[in-house]
Amino acid sequence: MTDYNYQEIDDVIHSRIRTAIMAVLVSVDEAEFTFIREKINATDGNLSVHLKKLEDHNYVSVRKEFVERKPVSRYRITDTGRKAFEEYIKKLESIIRKQ
């Protein structure tokens, strides 16, 4: 990364909610929708939209099932997502540490 080139930052991850989602998922094997919602304090609708965007870019995967007749969605970070998140953090640190 050269200088303070913000254009090199991953736009898919660079959103407060998506960054928070990725931070949660990188620290666990798998997380239910409700767990993520509570951790990042998002509304159901807002969280759904951001999870879908991450899923569309293969940064997260979802497994949906019914438990006691209730739908349960479980999310996990993919290898692609983990690599993208690590690169995102490195680029932010590079910008911040420039002197």
CATH code, domain with 60: 1.10.10.10
Q: Is residue 1 situated within a structural domain?
A: no
Which residue segment(s) compose the domain that 56 sits in? 6-94
Phi, psi of 87 (to 5 degrees): -65, -40
Q: Is residue 99 situated within a structural domain?
A: no
pLDDT at 94: 85
Counting as low any pLDDT under 70, the low residues of the chain are: 1-5, 98-99
Sign, CA torsion 57/60/63/68? negative
Residue pointed to by tokens 């590079």: 94
Q: Is residue 44 situated within a structural domain?
A: yes
Number of domains the chain contains: 1
| pTM for this prediction | 0.89
